[in-house]
Amino acid sequence: MVRVLIVDDSATMRSLIAAVLERDPEIEVVGEAGDPLEAREAIKQLNPDVITLDVEMPNMNGIEFLEKIMRLRPMPVVMVSTLTVRGAEATLEALELGAVDCIAKPSTGGLEGFRDLPFKVKAAAKANVKPLGPARAAPAPVPFDHAQDGRVIAIGSSTGGVEALITVLSRFPANCPPTVITQHMPATFTKSFSQRLDKICAPQVAEATDGAPLERGRIYIAPGGDRHLAIGGTGVLRCRLTAGDPVNGHRPSVDVLFHSVAKTVGPNAVAAILTGMGRDGADGMLAIRQAGGRTLGQDEASCVVYGMPKVAFELGAVERQAPLDRLAAELLKAPSSQEIENA
């Protein structure tokens, strides 16, 4: 049984969240709090397994409270945010501070908008939560001097992926191979996340647009919402945003991206699957490996949730596992098919 504390200044929203969570027989709502001061006492008394935390509250906002939690008493936190740009930016800051996952408040106020919350809460309960340490200096980019050789890097991630992607991509040099990424995240959040990455990374980072050419020194993030990101083309490779049903419960789906990479670039693909719940990406990564591409998985010790990488590894899709702080170097040094042939 996962014991949950709901923290939100709106009584209506607390009731809505409680109603959704209590539908799941594996979840027990043990308490509610209207602000961080009440929440602090509730944590001491109730010792919950997971907290759902509103971003904007009186007395102390959710970000300030989260930072105190992660420094003093680290525990799994799922952020509940509005779909505004401001809410998205604050939520991304929370995920960088160590929140396990996030969910957007439904615009209509109905239960359907929170349908994924029980899954996120149960995944958070199993998360590998680490204390928030002192701020670290930005890492030096990994040297990269390969010629333009058709190589494409593809990355998939989910729960815990914001922090993981920042760690990996901040080490990418300005002349990195074209890189395509699917991170499970709501639409407003992916735009803010792309902008955040663009400020801290040497390459240019942006949400993928349909028809955008894959170019060296550019990183393309799949927009959240109602389309999948794939790549295609015979001369110039381009991003393709395609309609379609969710795959493995997700749209955009890592599997859709990876399958397109396997089909389009085959042995010139270098793929990594990072922290996340479920199995999205495992089948597509296997297709990349079978096509001659190189495949990497984040290791269990450094994952927030060792779900997606575990399934891919057990399927035989992962050629090699590596800790998060080594993945950038591993992705960039993986030899292309041309280099292997010439060796």
Known catalytic residues are 158, 184, 280
Whole-angstrom distance, CA of residue 41 vs CA of residue 180: 44
Phi-psi region of 98 (alpha: psi -120 to 50; beta: other; left: phi over 0): left
Name residue, tokens 């509250």. 57
Q: Are 206 and 181 in contact (CB under 8 A)?
A: no
Angle between helices 85-97 and 161-169 (to 10 degrees): 80
Extract the tokens encoding 34.
């209207």
Please give the Cα distance from 327 to 334 (Å, whole number).
10
**Cβ atoms 164, 276 nearer than 8 A:** no
Question: Which residues are 27's β-sheet partners?
Answer: 2
Q: How many CB atoms lie within 10 A of CB 191?
A: 18
d(CA 66, CA 56) in angstroms, rounded, equals 12
Rg of the chain over CA atoms, in angstroms?
20
